[in-house]
Structures are given as structure tokens and as C-alpha cells.
Amino acid sequence: MDENELAMLGDSVREVLQSECPHDMVLRHVDGEDLREPLWRTVKDLGWTALSAGEEYGGLGLGPDALALLYRELGTALAPVPLLPTLIASELLYRFGNAEQRSEWLGGIAAGERRVALMQMGATPLRLVRSGSSVKLYGTAEHVLELKGADLALVLARSDEGETARVMIHLQEDGVVAFEQPLVDVTRSFGKLRLDALQLPAGRVLGGPQLEHAIACHGTLAIAADSTGGADTILALTVEYLKTREQFGRLIGSFQALKHRCADHKMALVAAEAILDDAVSSTAADQEAWPDLSAAKVAASEAYAALAQDAVQLHGGIGFTWEHVCHLFLKRAKLNQSLFGSTGWHLDQIGRQLAA
């Protein structure tokens, strides 16, 4: 995609989210008026579920630049749509799945007919036991992202011999019991699966160390982009508030103590955006963008969390109320810090590279 096409994609994503997912609807979602399923239908109808799959699967085969744009807009909108694990799964199958796996899953996933949940990287793996043409799984899969309403789940498993793999669970057919693990940030969802010697055909296993790496790259990019979108939006809302709220007979935005905090947040955001743009173009050019993506996630998620934390403070009493949107940004920002590798984990990736 060239720059113009990208800009057009960005515009159309923004327009859809502005009409289907404005902040007041997200606030109502928090109060139980579900926005998750309507949004899923929207993104499915618009073909966003096919963004990262190849054209032969009805997809658009879009690269990381287009994905970063999409994730940024989802962050801006605080969109409670369970899209990320599905897009990761379709990328994994497209890049690493064998012919059978692709034909079994990829079409349905790209079409949005089968929604995928994804166990977080770094979670405690299930125990994998291979026997002939089948495998058995033991244990509890925790921290499965967007499990609620999903049809498939890609869980992390490890054999006693040390083989790490992802295994595709068919949540209905396999008769697996799913539990929701409600999050403070209700724009995303976690769940867990208890598996007791679940026997599955060996074809359900996707293997190889590059798999976890690909998950880390895609997830890191997504959360970094989501964070820049969220940070930009909550900064704009905060600055707008400081320009209208009066105390002591003055606009509070004229107080230097508040101004300087906004300036520092803006600086951190601009820095994060520069690093993310660079990491995205390295990824798009098929260069090894690791640990540049780590740098992007550290910069973006830390800038977002600091900004969202301060936004509540800068809004004062109104920012501390349930009805104001500030806390939704704060909660999503705090979850973003932990999703797809904590700041400490990512700094360790960078440190290892520096010290190598």
C-alpha cells in the first residue's frame, strides 16, 4: 500500500469507529450495554478480519503499516472488539501453517466466521504429550485473550522433552469448558480453559520457535500502536479540558505547573510515535525489527500509562467519576503495559541485544 492508500484506509477505519464506537457508547458498554458483539459484526462485514490473510483466502494481505494504522484507531476509539487474536492467528496460519491447517481454518477466520482467542505469550504452558497421530493436553490455560464468544483458541503448550508449540482448540466440538476472567478494563477480555487429558489430532499442533516470535512481534506492534492512539486521544481531551475549565478566575491551562506536564507527555508521545513508525517500516521491509518493536512498545505503553494516569489528575474531580471517559483510558493503558510482554521484559530484550 502506498501512502495515499494507507491514508484512505486510516480515514475509513476512523469514520467507521466514530460512528459505531464513539466514546459514549463505550461508556454504556461498561455499564452492560454490550458493544462487543455489534462491533464484531461490523468489522466482519467490513472485512477487517481478513486484513492480514493472503488474497487467496479472501484477505487483503496487508502489511504491518496498515495493521499499525488499524490498531492505532482501535486504541483511539477504546474499541471493545476482539479482533487482535484473530488477526494474529490468521497471520500465523498464513505464514507457518501447513496446507491442511490453512484450508481447515484460514478461510473461516479471514471471513470472520470463526473468532480466535489467544493465550498470552509467556503464560504457563499446558503440558503436551504426543502419542502417534494424536496429542493430549493437560492443565489450565490462563490468560487467554478474547476467549469470550470465541470459536477457536490457540493455546501454548510444552512437552516434557521441551518442545514448545501452539495447539488449536475447537471450543464447541472439543467440549472444553471456558471460564471468563473478568478484567478491570472491560474493553478487552481474558478467560481460562481447564483441560483434563484432552485428546486431539496431531494436526492441531502448530510448532516451531518462530511462532512465538511472530506472536510477540504482531502483539507488540499492535499494543504499541493502540497505545499511541489512546495517548494522543486522551492528551487532546485533557488539553481541551484545560482550555475550558476556569478556577481562580483563570483558565487552568494557563498555569505553568499543568502546562509543563502536558508538554512532557506530548514529548513522550512524539518520541514513541517516531520509534513506532521506524519499527513498522523495518517490519514492512522484512528486516529484523526486533528489538526495535520492543523499544516501540516500551516508549508507547509507558507514555500512554503516564499520560492516562495524569489525565485523571488534570481533570480533577470530574476525571475521578465513573461517567467520565478518563478511567477507561487509564485502565486500557495499564493493561497495555502488561499485554504482550511487560516493560521490564521488553527492556530485557533490548538489554540483551545491547550487551550481546
Name the site residues for other proteins (rule: CB under 8 A). Answer: 239, 242-243, 251, 253-256, 259-260, 262-264, 266-267, 270-272, 274-275, 277-278, 295, 298-299, 344, 347-348, 350-351, 354-355
129 vs 347 by CB, closer to other proteins: 347
CB of 32 to other proteins, least distance (A): 36
Q: Which is nearer to other proteins, 127 or 266 (CB)?
A: 266
CB of 72 to other proteins, least distance (A): 17
CA distance 319 to 312: 5
CB nearer other proteins, residue 14 or residue 259:
259
Our CA dihedral for 210, 218, 41, 338, rounded to 10 degrees, sits at: 110
Ramachandran class of 157: left when φ > 0, alpha when ψ lies in -120 to 50, beta otherwise? beta
Nearest residue (CB) to other proteins, 60 versus 258: 258
Cα–Cα separations (whole angstroms), residue 327 to 18, 93, 184, 307, 342: 19, 36, 10, 12, 21
- In the complex with other proteins, the residue whose CB is nearer, 177 or 270, is 270
Q: How far apart are CA 277 and CA 256, in angstroms?
A: 31
Q: CA nearest 52: which of 288, 274, 283?
A: 283
Cα–Cα separations (whole angstroms), residue 331 to 158, 273, 305, 307, 327: 32, 21, 9, 12, 6
Instruction: Select 53 or 298, whichever has its Cβ closest to other proteins.
Output: 298
CB of 304 to other proteins, least distance (A): 14
As measured in angstroms, the least distance from the Cβ of 107 to other proteins is: 40
Select 133 or 244, whichever has its Cβ closest to other proteins: 244
Q: Shortest distance, CB of residue 266 to other proteins, whole angstroms?
A: 6
- In the complex, minimum distance from the CB of residue 66 to other proteins, in angstroms, rounded to a whole number: 21
Asked if residue 269 lies in contact with residue 236, where contact means CB atoms within 8 angstroms, the answer is: no
Q: Which is nearer to other proteins, 68 or 118 (CB)?
A: 68
- For 40, 134, 319, the CA distances from 94, given in Å and listed in that order, are 22, 23, 44
CB of 344 to other proteins, least distance (A): 6
Please give the grid coordinates belonging to residue 336.
Answer: 497495555
**Could you give the CA distance from residue 220 to residue 296 in angstroms, rounded to a whole number?**
8
Q: How far is the CB of 238 from other proteins (least distance, A)?
A: 10
